[in-house]
Amino acid sequence: MMQMFSKLAAADHEQVIAFQNHATGLRGFLAIHDTTLGPAVGGTRIWNYASDADALDDALRLSRAMTYKNSLAELPAGGGKAVLIAHDGLDRIAAFEAYGAMIESLNGRFFAGRDVGITDADIAAIARNTQYMAKEPSPGLGDISEHTAIGIWHAMRACLEFAGINRPPRVAIQGVGSVGIHLARIVKREGGSLCVADIDAGRAERAAKELGARVLPVEEILFAEVDVLAPCALGGVISAANAARIRAKIVCGSANNMLTGMDAADALLRSVVIYAPDYLVNAGGVIRGTEFFLLGIQDSSESLARIYGRTIRVLEIARSRGVSPARVADELAEARLKRPKLFRDLYWGKR
């Protein structure tokens, strides 16, 4: 128990809920990192974790990243994340219905979206018992994954300009799932060339056939000689140990927590690789979801386009100070959390 509180205190988490429903096999954690700016908004993922401790660590790490993402995107929302533990005894539909009831009991303190492993059937099951779930498809919402990819492209344009690359880019995309394939299509449409990799070989081959991309082995894609490396799968792929091997001029992708830590960010800086902080550039999906579901905004194109300017700002500040853009992004996100919080007063005043 003391270890859990130490973990919460380390990143100043407000609340962690360990939930279970024996009848359905539901087990997991909901981490609410910070609600200074508004209700905690973040995804729900399901994964076959090696241990409960690994699941808790994932929830804590990802919820903090959501706070920073929402803050830097200037959204009236805090950060949270839910992780469900996949196992053979899980009655999936019933478990997700029970999870939805748990979210509803929080009365809007947490608003859930889709994350790794969540299917349309899972979302439907969750939504049967809560109004606080981003339901896809919803008329007028569009494809959240595509919105994420559009935001990444705006950030990528900023990085290319910052690097002085004024030709169609060569881009390596690690993971051509829901976000990666949309990003690949945008790059192709803008005249860029592609190489792709995916743990699902069939998915990589389909992307290659559609877009004329070159397929690389998963273990080689990080070190391809390209202008931009775009990690678009699971995180933790760039470490201080392998950063020196990266030959791309820019790292800009959708993967959450793609770096193993700040030491990896500093290693990229030493290797003269421009790093676009992940939670800055992959905010397109949460921007669209928050604006649509919480604010009633029908067109988020201008908000997505502002990722370009934010990226330029972070890169310029980092260059002027000689530090990693990851450090600058953290500082900017934390600074907004310290301002007077009118939205929080308005939001909780409705309870």
Does the annotation count 81 as an active-site position? Answer: yes
Backbone angles phi, psi at 4, to 5 degrees: -65, -45
Quote the CA–CA distance of 268 and 251 in Å, as a whole number.
9
Cα of 219 vs its chain's centroid, Å = 22
Cα of 225 vs its chain's centroid, Å = 25
Do the Cβ atoms of 79 and 27 come closer than 8 Å? no
Write down the catalytic residue from 69, 81, 188, 249: 81
Quote the CA–CA distance of 146 and 136 in Å, as a whole number.
13
Pure H helices in the chain: 2-10, 52-72, 92-105, 120-127, 144-163, 178-189, 201-211, 218-221, 262-270, 278-281, 284-293, 301-321, 325-337, 342-349
Pair of tokens at residue 103 = 């979210």
DSSP 187-251: HHHTT-EEEEE-SSHHHHHHHHHHHTPEE--HHHHTT--SSEEEE-SSS--B-TTTGGG---SEE
Quote the CA–CA distance of 255 and 145 in Å, as a whole number.
12
- The residue behind tokens 């976000």 is 179
Pair of tokens at residue 239 = 């470490």
Q: Would you please indicate which residues are annotated as catalytic (active-site) residues?
A: 81
